[in-house]
Amino acid sequence: MAENINNRRSWMIVPAHDPAAGTSYGEIKPDVVVLDLEYSVPPKAKEAARAGLGALVKKIGDSQTAVFVRIDRDTRWADVRAAMHRGITGIVFPGPDAPEEVAELDELITAMERERGIDVGATELVLMLESAKGFWHADAIAQASPRVSALGVGRIDLTMRLGPVPQDEFRLGRFLMTRALVAARMLGKQPLGALWRPGSRGGVASQPVTAKAAAEARLMGFTGCLCATPEQVMPVNDGFSSV
Amino acid sequence: MQHDAEKPLFVGEKPMPKYIRRSVLALSIDDAQLGEKAYASWADAIILDCPKQAGRDWQADLKARMPAAIHAAAKGGAEVFVRIHRDCAAAELDATVFAGIVGVVLTGVTAADDISAVAKGLDALEISRGIASGALEIDVEVDTAGAVWHALAIARASERFGAFYVNEAALCRNLGMQSAPRLAFDPLEYIKSQLITVATAVGGQAMGMSYPLGLTQGNADEANVKKAVRLARDTGFKGAMCPHAAWINICNEGFRPTAEEAAYYVKVIEVFAEGIKRGMASVPIDGKMIDVPVDLRAKLYLKWANRAQARDDAKARAHERQGN
């Protein structure tokens, strides 16, 4: 973790099964490429996506771009095994509920580092908080592994698991962002998150809405966020850079 | 209508607020006009900042000067505190704690252990400096993420805990937030809510100001400061640090029930008492239903108003004594 982790503004999610996964980032230039094994990959394409990770991680890693793999919480063990190749910067773990889950993943990553000839301890872990338990125990969860470099606020799962259907303003959002921010700053981790406005959530957020959300998040103390679409990368970079 | 300030209104009643500290002014002991400023301020409390003189034995220097500085700061009837930092708390306590102070305000706190260490230091100093055992209070200036996250453990760490002070500018820096109020909402809203709730839960109180004045500490016009104080009071703060002398009177008047509110509470209590005598469980006043919880709230708020008035009377007596 030699570089300043707070310089990673845009974390562009790229479906790992997408044939363009190994090239699209070159033009868009996100600060981080997140190869996805979670929602953006159809169930039938998961195996192919896992099988292709080795080449993708190597290619992107060789270009000096930080490359993470977002695993699926329910299949995290198989996903981590598939993701751990030389060139990987880290794993994005969505929805941790307890410190034990993070510690277990840490052990698996260590074993895979040894097996694949990766420097032991070099692989980072980014935790995206998506549940009531996760937010409440954020400090213990983030301290469960020295690999944890960032704490983020999830979005789609978060709203589903906490109940409020965000037809209108997601009123819990600011409270949860505050809690994640405090935990991250207390522990010296990068705080990731931005709150999209109603009617333009997640991947469908327009560029102006994305820029506004990113700028607001920066004022709140966050330094980057996930980008569900390539179009969000530029406004996110701008929003988290402007003074 | 007067109520006995010491007599609980109901079992388990928490005094509201615990202390009448509406306005708090920080002054340096190096200030040549310390006594005059403290006297003229009418602040409920003075916090003494004790700069360390370079090139000198700062502990010996402070020890020699603190008793007189504490005496000077108390001239106007204010409670006197000293502000110390967690990183050198033991040495600063030894150099600044003398008879006459009410407690210490601790900055840089990140965990409950910080409070325990200071409490232990105060235990020893109370014995060696002739201060009643357990008398000195520990207040916490919240300026780190750790203090926010561990607020409950911090407040529970010692019986001496008295109050949280929200240092918005320092806290924003620590959290990586912008310290200019460019957001349409208060980014510290939930943190303030948490600190108010936690402090009250352990029998203490929280001190702070509403957004954006709490962040900017600007010298706004009287109407805006009044509005901000009213909002802070209604949020749950019981007083605030005053960066400008002009804030003090506004805080003294604002962090208490207004005269109109007090008059209304008296009316509520009287009308409800009459209703009870007539065998009723609730009575209407101006179209509003008055029942037991409303009556109790009126009594509590009236008690608060009376205690605030008593605090003002005490300061007035202190001024008279100085005048004589």
Interchain CB distance below 8 Å, A183 and B185: no
Taking the CA of residue A196 and the nearest CA in chain B, the distance in Å comes to 15
Tell whether A139 is within 8 A of chain B (Cβ): yes
Provide, as residue numbers in chain A, all residues whose Cβ is less than 8 Å from the Cβ of B114. none
Interchain CB distance below 8 Å, B176 and A191: yes
pLDDT, one tens digit per residue, over B120-130 is 999 999 999 99
Contact A49, A37 (CB under 8 A): yes
Tell whether B191 is within 8 A of chain A (Cβ): yes
Percent of chain B topping pLDDT 70: 95
pLDDT of residue A198: 52
pLDDT of residue B157: 98
The shortest CB-CB distance from B187 to any of A139, A186, A219 is to A219
Residues sharing a CB contact under 8 Å with residue A102, sequence separation 6 or more, in sequence order:
A93, A96, A125, A127, A141, A142, A144, A145, A148
Interchain CB distance below 8 Å, B187 and A186: no
Provide, as residue numbers in chain B, all residues whose Cβ is less than 8 Å from the Cβ of A179. 190
Provide, as residue numbers in chain B, all residues whose Cβ is less than 8 Å from the Cβ of A222. 176
Interchain CB distance below 8 Å, B187 and A220: yes
**A 51-80 residues with CB < 8 A to B:** none
Interchain CB distance below 8 Å, B145 and A186: yes
How confident is the prediction for chain B on average, in pLDDT? 93
Taking the CA of residue B166 and the nearest CA in chain A, the distance in Å comes to 15
Does the pLDDT at position B118 exceed 50?
A: yes
Taking the CA of residue B191 and the nearest CA in chain A, the distance in Å comes to 8
- How far apart CA A158 and CA B274 sit, in angstroms, is 53
- How far apart CA B147 and CA B206 sit, in angstroms, is 13
pLDDT band at B16 (very low <50, low <70, confident <90, very high): confident
pLDDT, one tens digit per residue, over B34-82 is 999 999 999 999 999 999 888 789 999 999 999 999 999 999 999 999 9
Tell whether A172 is within 8 A of chain B (Cβ): no
Provide, as residue numbers in chain B, all residues whose Cβ is less than 8 Å from the Cβ of A216. 183
pLDDT of residue A35: 96
Nearest C-alpha in A relative to B174: A185
Nearest to B138 by CA among B119, B165, B117: B119
pLDDT of residue B18: 78
Nearest C-alpha in A relative to B171: A182
| Across B96-104, average pLDDT | 98
Nearest to B15 by CA among B5, B3, B24: B5
pLDDT of residue B39: 96
pLDDT of residue A207: 86
Burial class (CB in 10 A: 0-12, 13-18, 19+), B272: buried
What is the residue extent of each domain of chain B?
23-254, 259-323
The shortest CB-CB distance from B174 to any of A178, A185, A222 is to A185
What amino acid is encoded at A27 in this protein?
Answer: E
User: Each residue's pLDDT tens digit in chain A (243 positions)?
Assistant: 445 667 899 999 999 998 887 788 888 999 999 999 998 899 999 999 999 999 999 999 898 899 999 999 999 999 999 999 999 999 999 999 999 999 999 999 999 999 999 999 999 999 999 988 999 999 999 999 999 999 999 866 666 666 655 555 667 788 999 999 999 999 999 999 998 765 554 446 788 889 999 999 999 999 999 998 899 999 999 999 965
Taking the CA of residue A190 and the nearest CA in chain B, the distance in Å comes to 10
Exposure pattern of B144-175 as b/e (b: 16+ CB <10 Å)? bbbbbbbbeebbebbebbbbbbbbbebbbebb
Does the pLDDT at position B4 exceed 70?
A: no
Tell whether B107 is within 8 A of chain A (Cβ): no
Interchain CB distance below 8 Å, A182 and B149: yes
Provide, as residue numbers in chain B, all residues whose Cβ is less than 8 Å from the Cβ of A181. 145, 175-176
pLDDT of residue A203: 47
Taking the CA of residue A220 and the nearest CA in chain B, the distance in Å comes to 5
Interchain CB distance below 8 Å, A223 and B144: no
The shortest CB-CB distance from B146 to any of A174, A186, A222 is to A186
C-alpha B26 chain-centroid distance: 12
Nearest C-alpha in B relative to A190: B176
pLDDT of residue B180: 86
Residues sharing a CB contact under 8 Å with residue B20, sequence separation 6 or more, in sequence order:
B44, B256, B307, B308, B310, B311
Burial class (CB in 10 A: 0-12, 13-18, 19+), A211: buried
- How far apart CA B309 and CA A139 sit, in angstroms, is 44
Tokens 């005269």 correspond to B259
Walk me through the domains of chain A, giving residue ranges and CATH numbers. 7-194 (3.20.20.60), 195-243 (no CATH)
Interchain CB distance below 8 Å, A174 and B178: no
pLDDT of residue A206: 82
pLDDT of residue B249: 97
pLDDT of residue A1: 46
- How far apart CA A233 and CA A207 sit, in angstroms, is 9
pLDDT of residue B7: 67
pLDDT of residue A167: 56
Fold entry, domain B23-254: TIM Barrel (3.20.20)
pLDDT of residue B1: 40
pLDDT band at B153 (very low <50, low <70, confident <90, very high): very high
Does the pLDDT at position B267 exceed 90?
A: yes
